[in-house]
Amino acid sequence: MNLCRVELCHVGPFNHPVVLEGLESAGLHVLAAENEAGKSLLIRAVVRGLFDKCTSKNSAIKELQPIGTSLGPRVAVEFEVSGGRYRIEKQFLNDTLSKLSIWAGSDWQLLAEQDEAETQTLQLLHANMPGGGASKDVHWGMLSHLWSRQGTPTRWLDVQGEAGEKLRKQFTTVELDPVLDNMAKALDDIGDQSLTPTGRLKAGGSAETAETQRDAVTEQLDVVESKLENLARDISHHEDLGPKVKRLDEEFKSHQEKHSKLKSQFDLAADGLKLVRQLEGELEAQQKTLNIVFTDLEKLDDANKKLSKADEEHQAITQKLEQKKQEASQLNEALTSAKTAQQQGQETWAGANADHQRTIDLIDLQQKQDDAGRLQKAIKKIESKDRALKGKCAELDALPPIDAKAMGQLDRLQKKIDRLKAQIEVSGLSVILKPKAEGTVETRGGEPDGSFSVKAGEAYALNSPDQLEIILPEWGRINVRSGAGEAQDLAVRMKASHEDMGEQLTSFACTNLAEARKLLGQRNSLEQQVKAEQVALEEQLDEFESLDDLRAEVKRLGQQAKTQVTKLKATAEELAADLDLLHDQKETQRQDLQRAETAKNKADQDVLKAEEKLKVPQAEYSKLEKQQHQVEIDRAQFTADKEGIEKRCSDGLDLAKRNAAGKVAVTEAKLEQEKAKLPDDIESLESKLSRADKAAKDTEAELNREQQELYKLDGSIRGRGGTGLYSEKAALAESHARHAATAERELTQARAARLMFALLDHHKRESIAGITGPLEEELHRGFSTITGRTDRRVFLDENLGIRGIGRDEDQLLAFEQLSQGAKEQLLLCLRGAVAMKLADTEPHVLILDDALVNTDGVRQDRVLQYLETLADRLQVIVLTCHGERYRGVGRKIEFTYPAEG
C-alpha cells in the first residue's frame, strides 16, 4: 500500500482543512516541520482513517479532536493498493460517515459507504478489525510493521500477533513442529528446575537443594568423623599411656629403694664426719696462730734491716748537703761582680744618649727657624695676587646678574611675541599703506603703534587685532575696525608678552634684547678671569688652605723655635753653629751611643747567667733536705714497728713459734685418725643420696602427671562411649547417600534435558535459518551500509525478531544489550528489509517518524544513503523536526491549506 494524498480537518492543530500531497509511489519524502506542528498526528489520523470505524468514540479517536472543541475529526486518505487507487473518507464523533471511492481515470467513483466502506477498505489492506472500537496496531496490516513510531523507534511488533502472523506468512514456507516446541519447553522446564540459563546450579533448584542438604549432612558427618578421630586418637593414646604409667611406677619404686639404702649409709657416716669437721676447724685455728708467729718474725727482721739502711742513707745525704752549700757560695760572689759591671754600663749609655739627643734638638731648632723665614717671603707674594683677584670680583659684582638661563627665557619670550604678531597679521586687521609721497604716519591700537616715517612707493603693513586708527597728515584720520574676537584675544596675549619682556629687560638694566645679550658677554668674560686668578693663588698657597693659614703657620714656627731655645738653654755659639757640623756631630754621637748600648746589654746577660748558675746547687740542696727529712720519718716508723713486735711476745718469738707448731702437729694426727674411720665414698655419698632423692621425686612427678592424664583420658573415653558416635555417623552416612543420589539424579536429569534441548533447538534453528536467511541477508546489507562494518551479521529468531549481532551465533551480542543508536538503526534496517521483500509483490510505504534520535552524524549520512537505496523501490516518508539533516535528499513535502468551500 502506498499513500497518495491526505486531507485532514478538525484534527489536532488543524482546525481548518489541510492537505498533504505530492506523494509518489516510490521515492524519499521528507516532511520537515517544527515540534508540535502535527507531523505524527497526521500519521495517526491516517491510521484511524484507514482502519477504524467512523462510529468509534474511543480515546484514540478523541485524541484527534482539536483541544477544547467538540468538533468531529475528518480524515480522507487516498492510497494505492493492488494496482488501484482508492479514497477512504471518514468523519468521526459528529455526523459520522465512511465513504470508499475508486479512481476511475477521470473522477472518483463511490464504491461503498459506512460499514461496507470500512470492511472493503480493511480487505484491500489485508487487515481486519475485530469489535467495534478503535483498532490496535496488530490490526493494521503491514503498516504496523513499516511505521516506526515516534518515541518507540526500537519497538518491533511481535509477529505472534495477528499482523505478525500475516507477516510471517509472507516470509515462511515451512511450519515448525509444535510437538518439538512442546518437547523443548518441557525439557527447558526440566533443565530450569536445577540449572541457570548459563548452566550453573540454580539457587533453590532441585539439584542445588539436594546438594545443599547433602553438604549440610557432609558437615555434620565431618564433625562426627572428627570426633571419632579424636576418640580413636585418645584411645590410642590411652593404650600407649597404660604401659608407660606401669613402667614409671616400677621406676619410681626402684628409685625409692635406692634412696632408702643410701640414706642408711649416709646416717652412719654422719657422726664420724662431724668429729672430722670439728678437728678440721681446730687445726685451721692453730695453723692460723702459727702463721701469725712466723709473720711477726719476718716483720722484725725486716724492720731491723730497714732501720740500718735508713741510717746509712741519712749520713750520705748530710755530706751532699755540705758540698752543695759551698758551691752556692762561690756562685753568689760571681753574681755580685756581674751586677757591678751592669751598673757601670748603664751609666755610660745614659751619658751618650743625652749628648746625642741635644744635638738632634739643635738641628731641629735651626730647621724651624729656616722654615719660618721662607714662608714669610711667600706671604708677601700671595698678598699681591689676592688683591688683584678681589678687584676682578668687585668688577663682576657690579654687572647686572644676567646669565644664560635668563637670556634663554628672554629669547623664548621674543619668539612668542613674533608668533603672536604673525597670528594677528593673519586673523586681525591688516592695512597696506603705500603712500605716493614721503611723510609721517601715525597709528594707534596697531602695529606699529605710534608715528613713523614712510617713503613714497613703499608698502607698509599696518596690523591690528581689531581696531586701527591711522592718522594721515594733511589728510585726516582713518579708523578701521574688525569684528574678529580671536585677533583680539591674540592682541591681549601679545600685549601681556610685551609687558613681560619689558619687565625682564628692565631687571637687567637693558632696553632691548641686544643690550641684554652684550651684557651677558661681559659677565662671561669677567667670570673666566676671576677663575684664572683663583687658580694662580691656590698654586701659591701650596698645601695651605688660605693666606691666613699660611700666616698662622709662620707664627707657630716662630713660637716653637723660641720655646726650644729656652728649653735647651742653648748658647749663642750653639745657635750659631753650622747645621752641617751639627749633623756630623750627631752621627759621631749616634755611634758612641750604639757602643754604650752593646756594653750595657752584655753586662745584663752576664748577670742573668750568674743567677741561673746559682739556682742549680740551690735546688739540689733543697731536694737533699727533703730526702733527709723522709729518711728521718722512716727511721722513726721502723723503730716503732720493732718495738711493737717485741712488746707482743714478751717471752720471745722463738718460744711462741715452738708452742704453736706443737699444737698443730697434735691436732693433725687426731684428724688423720678420725678420717681413717670414715667410709671410702663419704665424699660422693651425699651427692648420691641427693641424686637418688631427686630421681625418685622426678619419677613420682611424671608418674602422677601421666596417671592424671590416664585417668582423664579414661573418663573422657568412657564418657564419649555412650554418645553413640558410630550410630550417628551411620545415620548421617545413609542420609548423605540419599541426598547425594538425589543431587546426582537431579543434576544428570537437568544436564541431559539441557543437552536434549540444545539438540532440538539446533535442529529448529536450522529449519528457521532456511526461512529467515534471505531476510537476514537483506538486513545485513542495510546494517553494513549504516555501520560501515561487514564483519558482523544480524541474526533473527523464528518470530522475525532480532536476536542480536555478531560474527557467529556463539559470539552473539543480544539485541537487548545493544546501544539505543544501534537498536534504532537495526529496526530501521529490519523494516527496510521487510518492506523490500514485500515490494516484490506489492509496493509499500515505509514511515519513519523521528526514527533516528540516537544516531550520530557519521551514521546519519550513511542512513541517508541507505534510505535513498530503499526509495528506489519503496515509498519512504520521513517525518522530522531536523530538516537540515535531510537537505539535498529526497523530495520535500509540506502541508497546504486550500481555501474553504
Partner 1 sequence: MSVRFIHSADWQLGAHFTQFGENAKRLRAARLETLRRTLDLVAEREVDALLVAGDLFEDSQVDDRLVKEVVDLLSGQSTPVFVLPGNHDPASGPGSIWQREFWKALPDHIRTFEEAGCAPLGDGWLLASPLFQKRSTNDPSQKIEALLSEVPSDAVKVGMTHGSLAIPSQHQPDDHPIDPKAATQLGLDYLALGHWHSWREEDGGRMLLPGTPEQDKWDTRDCGWVALVEIDGPGRSPRVTREKVSTLEWHSLEFNCAHPDAEMERLASELARLEPQKDTIILRVELQSELGLEDDNRVRGWLSEAVSGFPVVQETDQSIARLTSGEREALLAEHPMLARAWAALESMEVLAGEGFSAGEGGLSNAEMQSLIKKAGLDSADEAKLGAHLQEARRLFMKTLREGTR
Footprint on this chain of partner 1 (rule: CB under 8 A): 176-177, 179-180, 182-183, 186-187, 190, 195, 199, 228, 231, 234-235, 238-239, 242, 713-715, 717-718, 720-731, 733-738, 741, 748-749, 751-756, 758-760, 762-764, 767, 810
Quote helix, strand, coil % in the chain, to nearest 5: 65, 15, 20
Residue pointed to by grid coordinates 707482743: 648
Q: Which grid cell sits at 888?
A: 539535498
DSSP state, residue 195: B
Handedness of CA 785, 786, 788, 791 (dihedral sign): negative
Strand 18-20: give its sheet, edge to edge: 108-113, 97-103, 84-91, 74-81, 2-9, 18-20, 895-896
Least Cβ distance, residue 744 to partner 1 (angstroms): 9
CA distance 830 to 835: 8
CA distance 44 to 269: 135
In a 13 Å sphere around the CA of 839, the CA atoms on its Cβ side amount to: 23
First CA to last CA distance, the chain: 30
The nearer residue to partner 1, 388 or 752, going by C-beta atoms, is 752
The nearer residue to partner 1, 68 or 719, going by C-beta atoms, is 719
The nearer residue to partner 1, 247 or 518, going by C-beta atoms, is 247
Handedness of CA 565, 567, 571, 573 (dihedral sign): negative
The nearer residue to partner 1, 183 or 406, going by C-beta atoms, is 183
The nearer residue to partner 1, 240 or 578, going by C-beta atoms, is 240
**HEC assignment per residue over 743-802:** HHHHHHHHHHHHHHHHHHHHHHHHHHHHHHHHHHHHHHHHHHHHHCCCCCEEEECCCCCE
Least Cβ distance, residue 63 to partner 1 (angstroms): 46
Which helix (H) or strand (E) covers residue 614, if one does? Answer: helix 579-648
CA distance 208 to 561: 141
Least Cβ distance, residue 890 to partner 1 (angstroms): 46
Backbone angles phi, psi at 12, to 5 degrees: 50, -125
| Burial label, 206 (beta-carbon count in 10 A; 0-12, 13-18, 19+) | buried
Q: Decide if 29 contacts 891 (C-beta within 8 A).
A: yes
The nearer residue to partner 1, 177 or 620, going by C-beta atoms, is 177
Least Cβ distance, residue 817 to partner 1 (angstroms): 19
CA distance 71 to 94: 7
Angle between the 178-194 and 725-787 helix axes, to the nearest 10 degrees?
A: 130
Least Cβ distance, residue 177 to partner 1 (angstroms): 5
Least Cβ distance, residue 805 to partner 1 (angstroms): 20
The nearer residue to partner 1, 107 or 808, going by C-beta atoms, is 808
Least Cβ distance, residue 217 to partner 1 (angstroms): 12
Q: Is 545 helix (H, G, I), strand (E, B) or coil?
A: coil
The nearer residue to partner 1, 234 or 592, going by C-beta atoms, is 234
The nearer residue to partner 1, 729 or 859, going by C-beta atoms, is 729
The nearer residue to partner 1, 152 or 236, going by C-beta atoms, is 236
In a 13 Å sphere around the CA of 215, the CA atoms on its Cβ side amount to: 6
The nearer residue to partner 1, 693 or 709, going by C-beta atoms, is 709
Least Cβ distance, residue 180 to partner 1 (angstroms): 6
Q: Decide if 834 contacts 145 (C-beta within 8 A).
A: yes
Q: Decide if 408 contacts 430 (C-beta within 8 A).
A: no
Least Cβ distance, residue 188 to partner 1 (angstroms): 10
Exposure pattern of 248-263 as b/e (b: 16+ CB <10 Å)? beebbeebbebbeebe
The nearer residue to partner 1, 579 or 759, going by C-beta atoms, is 759
The nearer residue to partner 1, 673 or 708, going by C-beta atoms, is 708
Least Cβ distance, residue 235 to partner 1 (angstroms): 4
**Residue 155 is which amino acid?**
R
Q: Decide if 145 contacts 838 (C-beta within 8 A).
A: no
The nearer residue to partner 1, 130 or 243, going by C-beta atoms, is 243
The nearer residue to partner 1, 733 or 813, going by C-beta atoms, is 733
DSSP state, residue 176: P
- Helix ranges restricted to H, 132-196: 143-146, 162-171, 178-194
Least Cβ distance, residue 795 to partner 1 (angstroms): 16
DSSP state, residue 649: -
Handedness of CA 892, 79, 131, 171 (dihedral sign): negative
Least Cβ distance, residue 703 to partner 1 (angstroms): 19
CA distance 261 to 692: 10
Tell me whether the omega of the peptide bond preceding residue 448 falls within 30 degrees of 0, making it cis: yes
The nearer residue to partner 1, 20 or 747, going by C-beta atoms, is 747
Least Cβ distance, residue 799 to partner 1 (angstroms): 18
Least Cβ distance, residue 728 to partner 1 (angstroms): 7
The nearer residue to partner 1, 729 or 885, going by C-beta atoms, is 729
Least Cβ distance, residue 195 to partner 1 (angstroms): 7
Q: Decide if 128 contacts 50 (C-beta within 8 A).
A: no
The nearer residue to partner 1, 291 or 748, going by C-beta atoms, is 748
In a 13 Å sphere around the CA of 875, the CA atoms on its Cβ side amount to: 19
| Burial label, 8 (beta-carbon count in 10 A; 0-12, 13-18, 19+) | buried
